[in-house]
Structure 1
Amino acid sequence: MLLKLNVADNRPLHEQVAGAIRRAIAEGECAPGDRLPSARDLSQALGVNVNTVLRGLRGLRDEGLLEFRRGRGVTVAEGADQRSVLLDRVRELVGDAAHLGYSKADLMEMIRGLA
């Protein structure tokens, strides 16, 4: 897995780490069930602090893209490749809504109205 951070990106480093891993999953570099390198190895490869990498990994775990297993390390969750696509679409929708002056709460109310 070849990850790179964009030095021109203004987002916090942990978000960039998560984005790089998310991109690797979406592009098929990492498939469900694949084990990721250790946080220490990722931090050295990306040139960031190990705690920054861990924060990014925890965010991806909370999104359901990664699984943490004691003794097995961090693996890509089943269905992560599809979830990644959906999350990208949701992020785009939230951005579009904000651009039009709608809050996340407004957007959620719109979605509830569809059910």
Structure 2
Amino acid sequence: MLLKLDLTDTRPLHEQVAGAIRRAIAEGECAPGDRLPPARELSRALGVNANTVLRGLRALRDEGVLEFRRGRGVTVAGGADGRAELAGRAAELVEEAARLGYSREDLVELIRRLP
């Protein structure tokens, strides 16, 4: 799993760590049941304090994205890749809209009008 932080991002580092892990899951780099590297290893790879990584991991656990299991470490929770599925469905919607003569901007406007 290759994680990177954006040094120009103004969000707190723990939020950036959580976001990087969410993206890795959404892009299929990690699947439900996969074990994440230990927090110390992630902290070295990202160049941040291990406590910062742990805070990001705990936030993802609280969201139901990760599971902490004694003796098994941190794993991706079942169904955590729902965002990837949503992205796939959105891509299909964009293709269908184009087939019907709508631009992405038209589609975005249609979505904004939804209740």
Same fold (TM over 0.5): yes
1-side partners of 2:56 and 2:73: how far apart? Answer: 15
| Pair 40,80 (structure 1): closer, same or farther in 2 beyond 3 Å | same
In 2 relative to 1, CA 64–84 (structure 1 residues): closer, same or farther, beyond 3 Å?
farther
Which residue pairs with 1:57 in the alignment? 57
Whose radius of gyration is greater, 1 or 2? Answer: 2
Superposed CA RMSD in Å reads: 1.6
Q: Which aligned runs of 4 or more in structure 1 are off by greater than 2 angstroms? A: 83-86
Structure 2 gap segments, 5+ residues each:
87-114
Return the TM-score normalized by structure 2. Answer: 0.72
TM-score scaled by length of structure 1: 0.72
Residue 85 of structure 1 and its aligned partner are, at CA, apart by 6.7
- How many residue pairs were aligned? 87
Paired residue for 2:35? 35
Cα distance change, pair 9–35 in 1 and its aligned pair in 2 (3 A): same
| 1:84 positional shift | 7.0
Aligned to 2:104: none
User: Secondary structure of the residue that 2:41 maps to in structure 1?
Assistant: helix
3-state SS of the aligned residue for 2:75? strand
